[in-house]
Each structure stands twice: as C-alpha cells, then as structure tokens.
Amino acid sequence: MTPIACHECDLLLMPLELSAARSQAYCPRCGARLYGCHHDRLEKILALTVAALTLLVTAISFPIVGLDIQGHYAETTVLDAAQALWREERGLLAGLVLLTTVLMPLFELGAVLWLVLPLWRGWRPWGFARVFRLLRLAQPWAMVEVFVLGVLVSLVKLSHLADVLPGPAMACFGGLMALLAALSVLIDPPALWQAWDAARPLPFAGGALRRFRKARA
C-alpha cells in the first residue's frame, strides 16, 4: 500500500489511517486537504470502463483503414496488420503491436472491472492489492495513443499514392484513447483503498480461507 504525503507538511500517512473521513481526508498535523471522494466515483469508473471495453472490441473487429489504388480496394484490422508483420518476419514488431494496442488495454480494463465492480456492490474484491499493483504496472504499456499517431502519420504519407479511407476502428481508437485518459484521472488509489476499507469481505473468499487454514493445521 502506497503512503500518502501531505503536500503542505510532508507527513506520510497510510490510506487506511484516513478511513474515518468517508468523503474527504485532511492532514492530522496541519489540516491540509489531502483528497476528496465523490460518492458516484465508482459508478463513473464502471461506466467509462464498460464504454472503453465496447470501443476496444469494436476497434479490434472492424478495419482501421482502407486503400483504394486504381480501383483495387483493400482494408485491414489490427489483427491483420500484426499477422502481416509476422509473415514478413517482423515478429518482435508484431508482438509489440498486439501487446500495446490490444492485450495491455484489455488487461487494464479487465483489472479495473475486477477491482471496482465488487466495491460498487459493497464487497472487497479478491486479491485487491495484487491486482491493483499489476494494473499500475500495465498502464504504461497501453499505448493506444502511440498507435493512433503512427496510423495518422502513415495515412498522410500514403495520401499521394492512393485514396485513403479511415475505417470505423480509427474513431473507436480515438474514443478509447480519451476514455483511458479519463479513467487514469478517476482511478485514485486513496479513494479505492477507502472504498475497500468500507466494503465487506466476500463470503465465499472467507470460507475458502478458513478451510485452507484448517487443512494446514
């Protein structure tokens, strides 16, 4: 669990030490406001996550761009582009495209659902600290904005050779980029730990833990 440093007096506090203030927290030494939690924060995170998952699945399924060269039309998706790179013996580049554009955003959104959905229902998710740590490690690898920028540069360079027609996946990736940025602002570690402290343990998780302890005794 990452401690919180007061921006006024540099006092280090653990998030669970501040759980008494349900909507906001103040430094006990200087009284500075550390953070505030909106009651609808979890609902906003869930709504944005579901919307981002929908856009991600749509962006993977539909073409990114189409090329019309002298009457011959061709289009490609992200998975098709990765397969083409693999066939051209550029396996490392194909893996990076899949990792940063598909797998890491999918893992990030899945981890957010794993953490926030039980908290929204009033339960503590299993493996909260471990999953949250993995989420923070995965966030820098979700480079949707880099992919979108690369596609836009390629479109500009190909515009004098063929008629370039952006596909529906381009708009989906643009929306996904905006939603991921909004999620990074809403997902506040102290607020999530505060919600975890106020939630109840999962009943089946507690029973499984007791059975495990009895088996080891």
Q: For 13-68, how does the pLDDT look when each residue is reduced to its tens digit (9 = 90+)?
A: 776 555 444 456 778 888 877 765 555 788 899 999 999 999 999 999 998 877 77
Q: In angstroms, rounded to a whole number, what is the distance separating the alpha carbons of residues 125 and 118?
A: 6
User: Residue 159 has which token pair?
Assistant: 């515009």
* Pairing state between β 24-26 and 12-13: unpaired
Question: What does DSSP assign to residue 103?
Answer: I
- Looking at residue 205, what is its pLDDT? 52
Question: What CATH fold (topology level) applies to the domain 40-201?
Answer: Butyryl-CoA Dehydrogenase, subunit A; domain 3 (1.20.140)
> Tokens 């999530």, residue?
192
- Looking at residue 22, what is its pLDDT? 46
User: Residue 89 has which token pair?
Assistant: 């013996």
Across the range 193-198, mean pLDDT stands at 79
Domain residue ranges of the chain, discontinuous segments joined by +:
1-36, 40-201
CB–CB of 13/192 below 8 Å?
no
At 93, is the pLDDT very low, low, confident or very high (cuts 50, 70, 90)?
Answer: confident
Please enumerate in sequence order all residues whose Cβ is within 8 A of that of 79, keeping only pairs 6 or more positions apart, or say none. Answer: 60, 98, 102
Of the spans 37-51, 76-90, 114-128, which averages the highest pLDDT?
114-128
Residue 23 sits at φ, ψ, to 5 deg, of -105, -25
Average pLDDT, the chain: 79
User: Residue 65 has which token pair?
Assistant: 């761009």
DSSP E strand boundaries for the chain: 4-5, 12-13, 24-26, 33-36, 65-69, 72-76, 123-124, 163-166, 200-201
Across the range 177-184, mean pLDDT stands at 90
CB–CB of 73/67 below 8 Å?
yes
Give percent of the chain above pLDDT 90.
19
User: Is residue 108 scored above 90 in pLDDT?
Assistant: yes
